[in-house]
Amino acid sequence: MNTGLFRLRPPSPLSHLVLQLDRSYSWCTYQIAGTTDGGRPIEVLTMRGGSDRNVVVLAGAHPDEDTAHSLFELTLRLAAHPTLRSGVTWHLVLDADPDGSALNHPHAGRSLSIANHFDHRAFYRPPTERQPLWGFALQDPPRFAESKTTLVLRALLDETSPDLLGDFHRCLSGGAYTLTTRSHPPTNALTPDIAAQAGVPLALSGDEGGDPLTDRLAHGVWLAAHDTGFGPECRTSAWHYAAHHHDTLGLVVEAPNWIIEPTRENGSMSARRLHDAHARLTTCAENLPDLALTVHGEAARSRLGLLAPLAEQEATRQRSIGPVTDWALLRVSTALAAHAIATAGTDTAVEAAVDLHHTLLASTTERLRYRAVSPTTTAAFHTGALIAAVHGAPGLQALWRRQ
């Protein structure tokens, strides 16, 4: 399978910081925990705080989401302030999907516009079954072949038996929120304060970001429903695996890319728009080489089938759920355009795929009024959520005094 153009990148600011800490302090250890299926290193920084209480933090589990800056800020705070690392050994995974990251533009320094995010020349979001984060098995032996990246992450979790597994993410729109694998009083109580300090609104429902949020524990906090595995292979997430095997508290921290003004589109209009786009995307896919030939085509195929059910759901709503429908379309159109280029299809087919993507992208950017959420704001929410979960209110106070 053609995996597209993997890119060799210069070391990131996070890599520079981690290597500098490893050279400078005896309580910091940098290691390559293993390699991916593509041969890329999975880098981990361990910061020892004088205890066998372990915390694992993942960045980059979804490679199209910019979370490296948040891990950079967390690393910097932990290194600068002994109070924040006291009593805890932190294991920071710099990038939980390096192969996926290689198919995306580096996030640092990029404009935070919707057009830049969905740039078909360097955008890749793996289908769920190809995400290392969702490649874990609760059964032993597993019913499927786990990726090398998943095996490395699993070995880290089994070795450390973490008290807490933190996972940084960026939902595309809506407010910030946190998922926990069980109710956690400090997180429930402190999340509104963390959001206020960061300057980001909290999500009111899962409709805003597209996640199935049902069991609300507190304002901005939902329960990550117990998962025994999805599909015939019973795949599950890293946090459910750790919760099942090590009684780990899983903490999934989501901050939005954009704050978008409420849509005035009604459900029936949204459904018609989705049906029309679905038909055009389906025709486009049929005119391209086999989607199984590239990872981009595979991603497009996995998401194309979600559009018709989404349109049917919209048709039953008085008010559209909003930009979630746009993100569903753009993830397909971006992947189809990338697949068309990677497979060097006919000039007509490639041009049609790229033009269709640009048409859908222009429609979205013209309709939506939005403002970008800065990496600094995102990092403040991510970092605050982790510190609150580990150290509670005293930790937050120490963090905010030193910012």
Residue bearing tokens 């609150």: 388
Please give the torsion angle defined by the CA atoms of residues 292, 295, 299 and 304, in that order, rounded to the nearest 10 degrees: -30
Residue 186 identity: P
What tokens were used for 212? 């199935």
Distance CA 65, CA 239 (A): 18
Q: What is the four-CA torsion angle of 259, 260, 262, 267, rounded to 10 degrees? A: -120
Dihedral (CA of 310, 316, 320, 321) sign: negative
Q: Are 45 and 22 in contact (CB under 8 A)?
A: yes
Give the residue among 320, 257, 5, 6 at the shortest CA–CA distance from 118: 257
What is the token pair recorded at 21?
Answer: 């800490």
Q: What is the pLDDT along the chain (403 residues), one digit of tens a residue?
A: 555 444 445 568 899 999 999 999 999 999 999 999 999 999 999 999 988 899 999 999 999 999 999 999 999 999 999 999 999 999 999 999 999 999 997 765 567 899 999 999 989 999 988 999 999 988 777 777 889 999 999 999 999 999 999 999 999 998 999 999 999 999 999 999 999 999 999 998 877 667 778 789 999 999 997 666 656 677 899 999 999 999 999 999 999 999 998 877 899 999 999 999 999 999 999 999 999 999 999 999 999 999 999 999 999 999 998 899 999 999 999 999 999 999 987 889 999 999 999 999 999 999 999 999 999 999 999 999 999 999 999 999 999 987 6
Cα angle: 125, vertex 98, 96; to 5 degrees? 85
Burial class (CB in 10 A: 0-12, 13-18, 19+), 3: middle
User: What is the DSSP-derived secondary structure letter of residue 230?
Assistant: B
Cα 117 to Cα 112, 113, 257, 333, 376: the distances in Å are 7, 6, 9, 13, 18
Class in CATH terms, 13-261+372-401: alpha beta
Q: Identify the CA nearest to 127 among candidates 343, 308, 297, 339.
A: 297
Burial of residue 141 (CB within 10 Å: 0-12, 13-18, 19+) is: exposed
CA distance 305 to 196: 38
Q: In sequence order, which ranges of 179-294 are alpha helices (DSSP H)?
A: 185-198, 238-246, 267-286
Of the candidates 81, 7, 63, the one whose C-alpha atom is nearest the C-alpha of residue 390 is 81
Which residue in this structure is represented by tokens 């025709």? 283
Q: How many residues does the chain have?
A: 403
For 211: left if phi > 0, alpha if psi spans -120 to 50, otherwise beta; the answer is beta
Q: What are phi and psi of 263, to 5 degrees?
A: -75, 150
Classify residue 219 as exposed, middle or buried by CB count within 10 Å of its CB (0-12, 13-18, 19+). Answer: middle
Helix (H, G, I), strand (E, B) or coil at 89: strand
Residue of 316, 323, 336, 399 lying closest to 363 (CA atoms): 323
Radius of gyration over every alpha carbon of the chain, rounded to an integer in angstroms: 21
> Bridge-partner residues for 44, per DSSP?
31, 93
Residue 219 CA from chain centroid, whole number = 21
Which H or E element spans position 335? helix 324-342
**Backbone phi, psi, residue 285, to 5°:** -65, -40
Question: What per-residue confidence (pLDDT) applies to 5?
Answer: 45
| Structure tokens belonging to residue 361 | 């992208």
Which helix H or strand E contains 31, and what residues bound it? strand 28-35
Torsion on CA atoms 367, 371, 373, 375, rounded to nearest 10 = 100
Global confidence as pTM: 0.94
Beta-bridge mates of residue 47: 28, 90
Where are the domains positioned within the chain? 13-261+372-401, 267-367
